[in-house]
Chain A
Amino acid sequence: AQKITQTQPGMFVQEKEAVTLDCTYDTSDPSYGLFWYKQPSSGEMIFLIYQGSYDQQNATEGRYSLNFQKARKSANLVISASQLGDSAMYFCAMRGVTRGGYSTLTFGKGTMLLVSP
């Protein structure tokens, strides 16, 4: 079974500062993928960044980077230079392999990020 844990229900950050959102995971799958999604109040889940379990380097996408520490089973999202539009719910998710050989997404409970001017 897979499990994603996000221990920060809410985070506050000032505009232009960097913020780290924590994510730890548990899986027995040898191969898995880790994703971060952003959910604004409109409800749509927006893909931010992906890290494969065998990737040697940490993933980066613009202002987003993923601090992947495989031995610690953590995949923290770092947002640099926060903007007001970053205020949203953030979800860490993992895709592993089911018994049927196909993959499904498991989500954490999410972290609400509020960016203040």
Chain B
Amino acid sequence: KAGVTQTPRYLIKTRGQQVTLSCSPISGHRSVSWYQQTPGQGLQFLFEYFSETQRNKGNFPGRFSGRQFSNSRSEMNVSTLELGDSALYLCASDSGGGEVGTEAFFGQGTRLTVV
């Protein structure tokens, strides 16, 4: 079956603009999580959505938001972009059961560059 699909793969935006990233999970998966990856901070958890509700949230400012649709597809939005938002944004989907052994499947990421 198809894997996790993230679009677009690459984005260049200007400071102050906003951006929307999209993630289509594996069919049947109900949980979608978003991560920001930078060379300095590594992989940091942004938020998780399950059944259209935000279930967990990382320590990011309110400029970072997300949502999930009834078909489990998810979008994340970053408003008022800053240079420090340049990163690889990874989306992961899983069954959503919440067990500690739940395997997450990742997309190839969206590389955002803010200039």
The reply to whether chain A is a binding partner of chain B is yes
In the complex, number of A-B residue pairs with CB atoms less than 8 Å apart:
68
- Flag the segment in A18-26, A29-37, A63-71, A77-85 that touches B: A29-37
Interface of B is mostly: strand
- Chain B residues with Cβ below 8 Å from A110 are 42-43
Check if B107 is an interface residue, CB within 8 A of chain A. Answer: yes
A7 to chain B, nearest CB (A): 14
Q: Is the CB of B109 within 8 A of A47?
A: no
Known A100-B56, A107-B42: A31·B109 in contact at CB below 8 Å:
no
- Chain B residues with Cβ below 8 Å from A105 are 33, 45, 92, 104
Cross-chain contact of A100 among B55, B101, B104, B107 (Cβ < 8 A): B55
B99 to chain A, nearest CB (A): 7
- Chain B residues with Cβ below 8 Å from A97 are 98, 100
Check if B15 is an interface residue, CB within 8 A of chain A. Answer: no
Q: Complex: how many Å from CA A39 to CA B3?
A: 16
Binary per-residue interface labels of chain B (95-109) against chain A in the complex, 1 for a CB within 8 Å, 0 otherwise: 000111111111111
Check if B75 is an interface residue, CB within 8 A of chain A. Answer: no
Q: Is the CB of A109 within 8 A of B56?
A: no
Return 22 A-B CB contacts under 8 Å, by A number: A29-B100, A33-B99, A33-B101, A43-B109, A44-B107, A45-B90, A45-B92, A52-B100, A91-B43, A95-B101, A95-B102, A97-B100, A100-B55, A102-B50, A102-B55, A102-B56, A103-B99, A104-B33, A104-B45, A105-B104, A110-B42, A110-B43
